């Protein structure tokens, strides 16, 4: 069993996920770089350092999830932090701009059902499936932390404002993040009698492949709130949604 706390970050082979893993490694964690493609995961882990290890993990594949949980128990013997970062903004080619017009925009009035299902499979059902699979390990930790990557774009309160321009693009991706917020609260409520704390972090409009690098924030900035929540003390909150500036309305 590892003497260091162990953190698993999904979708950690690039972008915010890699930065979260790097930051946690810098804070003394053994970090597990979850990646659909194990070679990409190994490249990211090598860039982080000796405390990083690649783990093949496709959050939409039950067999991959089960194998990852088994490997973590066998090789590391513990899991103290789970950061569900893996996410997609749309299905299809990685270089397709987001948002875009027509059916590709994700607006529920026009988006193909297969596109909506693909977004939800990764962004919502993947979060639930991985959390359920890792819970036996997390329950054994003295003070486990679960952090889900949410988005202000999924804030129903914010999008309910008539003057909010984001309303025009509230579609499959944004709705999936609203669902992630609900899932976060559901896990927090179910686990509130345990030492496990479950919270959602908004990284802000960060420049990553998810938005075709249109974001205005660096990955270093985007990782900060997730890392803070991953390291909450005993008196920290659970069932919250926040960014670097504090609580965000659901």
Q: Give the single-character DSSP code of 103.
A: G
3-class DSSP string for 168-233: HHCCHHHHHHHHHHHHHHHHHHHCCCCCCEEEEECCCCECCHHHCCCCCECHHHHHHHHHHHHCCC
Which pLDDT belongs to residue 28?
A: 97
Closest CA to 31 of 247, 231, 235, 238: 231
Which pLDDT belongs to residue 210?
A: 59
Spatial distance between the Cα atoms of 140 and 137, rounded to a whole number of angstroms: 5
Which pLDDT belongs to residue 212?
A: 53
Closest CA to 152 of 169, 137, 140: 169
Write out the catalytic residue numbers: 151, 177
pLDDT one digit per residue (tens) for the chain, 250 residues: 568 999 999 999 989 999 999 999 999 999 999 999 999 999 999 999 999 999 999 999 999 999 999 999 999 999 999 999 999 987 765 445 544 444 445 899 999 999 999 999 999 999 999 999 999 999 999 999 999 999 999 999 999 999 998 898 899 999 999 999 999 999 999 999 999 999 999 987 554 555 555 555 677 888 999 999 999 999 999 999 999 999 999 9
| Gyration radius (Cα) of the chain, Å | 17
Do 44 and 54 meet the contact criterion of CB atoms below 8 Å apart?
yes
The answer, yes or no, to whether the previous bond of 99 is cis (omega within 30 of 0) is yes
3-class DSSP string for 133-167: HHHHHHHHCCCCEEEEECCHHHCHHHHCCCCCHHH
Could you tell me the sign of the dihedral formed by the alpha carbons of 47, 232, 208, 123, in that order? positive
Could you tell me the sign of the dihedral formed by the alpha carbons of 131, 195, 52, 181, in that order? positive
């Amino acid at each position: 069993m590892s003497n260091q706390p162990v953190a698993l970050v999904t979708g950690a082979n690039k972008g915010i996920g890699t930065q979260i893993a790097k930051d946690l490694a810098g804070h003394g964690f053994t970090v597990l770089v979850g990646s659909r493609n194990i070679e990409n995961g190994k490249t990211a882990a090598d860039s982080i350092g000796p405390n990083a290890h690649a783990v093949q993990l496709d959050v939409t594949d039950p067999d991959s999830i089960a194998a990852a949980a088994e490997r973590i128990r066998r090789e590391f013997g513990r899991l103290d932090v789970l950061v569900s970062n893996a996410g997609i903004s749309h299905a299809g080619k990685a270089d397709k701009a987001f948002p875009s017009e027509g059916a590709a925009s994700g607006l529920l009035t026009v988006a193909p059902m297969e596109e909506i299902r693909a977004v939800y499979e990764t962004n919502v059902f993947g979060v639930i499936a991985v959390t359920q699979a890792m819970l036996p390990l997390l329950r054994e930790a003295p003070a486990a932390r679960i952090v889900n990557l949410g988005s202000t774009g999924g804030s129903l309160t914010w999008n309910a404002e008539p003057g909010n321009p984001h309303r025009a693009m509230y579609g499959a991706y944004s709705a999936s993040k609203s669902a992630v917020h609900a899932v976060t609260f559901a896990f927090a409520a179910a686990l509130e009698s345990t030492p496990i704390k479950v919270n959602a972090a908004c990284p802000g409009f960060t420049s990553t492949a998810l938005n075709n690098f249109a974001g205005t924030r660096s990955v270093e900035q985007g990782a900060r709130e997730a890392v803070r929540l991953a390291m909450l003390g005993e008196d920290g909150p659970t069932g919250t949604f926040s960014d670097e500036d504090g609580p965000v309305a659901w």
